Structure 1
Amino acid sequence: MAKHRSSEGSGPSQRQLRVGELIRRTLSDVLMRGDVHDPDLTRMSITVGEVTVSPDLKIATAYVLPLGGRGQEDVVQILARNKTELRRLVSKNLTLKFAPDLRFRLDETFDRLDETRRLFSQDNVRRDLEE
C-alpha cells in the first residue's frame, strides 16, 4: 500500500519547491525581456516574488507585484489575459510532462512586512520586547 503525505501540516515537497523556483526565474526572465506581445504588459516592470506549485505540478500560482507598487489593480488582470502565451513561453524551459496552468495573485508580502514594522515600532510593544 502506497504511503501518501498528509496535507495537514506538511509543506511543499522538494520537487514542488524546485519547480516553483524554476518557473519563477523563467517567468521573471520572460517578463523582463518583454517576450509577450501586449503593450500594456511590456510597459510594466513586474516582480515575481514567489511561485507555488500544486502537489501534482499542474497548477502554478505566481505572486506578483508591479515595480513601485503602481498599477496593482491592473497587473493581475493583464497577466491573466496573457496567461496562454506566458504558459507557452515558460514551458519551453521546463522539462515537465505537462506545462502547469499559470495563475496570478498579488504579492502582499511587502504590505505585511510594513505592518509588522509598524507594530514593532509601537511604544508598548518595544517596552514588552525590552523586558
Structure 2
Amino acid sequence: MSRRQTSEKDGRGHSQRQLRVGEELRHLLAQLLERGNMRDPELRDVSITVTAVDVSPDLRNAVAYVMPLGGSDEPRLLAALRRAAPWFRSRVGERAGLRYAPEIRFELDRTFDEADRIGALLRRPDVARDIDEK
C-alpha cells in the first residue's frame, strides 16, 4: 500500500538522502501552506496536509502528496496547487539549501481511502469468519 516505489536501477528503496530531502520538503511545503501567503484565493483559508514527498534519485523532481482537511472540493484545490507549483518551487528553493530547486508535482494522497477500503473488507462477515477460525 506504500506510495514509495523501488528504484529500477538497483532494486532497493529510496536512499537516505532522498528520504531526508523529501522530509525537509514536506516540512517546508507545510509551513508555506500554513502561512497562507499565496496569491490564489482558492488556497487561502484552506487546511491542506502534506502527507509525504517523494523525491527522484537526482533530487530534481518531487511529488508532494496532499490531503485537504474535510475533503473539501479536492479537484479544485489540486488544480490551484498545480497552478501555484512554480511559486512553491521558488520558495522551497530559497529555503532548502539544495543546489537545484526540485520541480514539484502535487497529487492527492489516496492511502487513507485505501486503508478505509481494506478495513471495510476485513469487517465483512465472511472475511471476519475466516480470520476468527484460526
Q: TM-score, normalised by structure 1?
A: 0.91
Task: Find the counterpart in structure 1 of residue 62 from structure 2.
Answer: 60
C-alpha displacement of 1:83 = 0.9
Instruction: Point out 4+ residue stretches in structure 1 off by more than 4 angstroms.
Output: none
C-alpha displacement of 1:127 = 1.5
2:93 to 73, 91, 103: 91
The alignment-based identity, stated in percent, is 44
Superposed counterparts of 1:117-128, under 5 Å: 117-128=119-130
Task: Find the counterpart in structure 2 of residue 26 from structure 1.
Answer: 28
Superposed counterparts of 1:1-131, under 5 Å: 7=9, 9-130=11-132, 131=134
Gaps of 5+ in 1: none
C-alpha displacement of 1:52 = 0.2
Secondary structure of the structure 1 residue equivalent to 2:66: strand
User: Following the alignment from structure 1 to structure 2, what is the Cα–Cα distance between the partners of residues 100 and 94?
Assistant: 10
Aligned residues: 127
Gaps of 5+ in 2: 1-6
* Aligned partner letter, 2:117: E
Over the residues paired in the alignment, what is the CA RMSD in angstroms?
1.4
In 1, are the aligned partners of 2:26 and 2:50 still within 8 Å (CA)?
yes
Secondary structure of the structure 1 residue equivalent to 2:63: strand
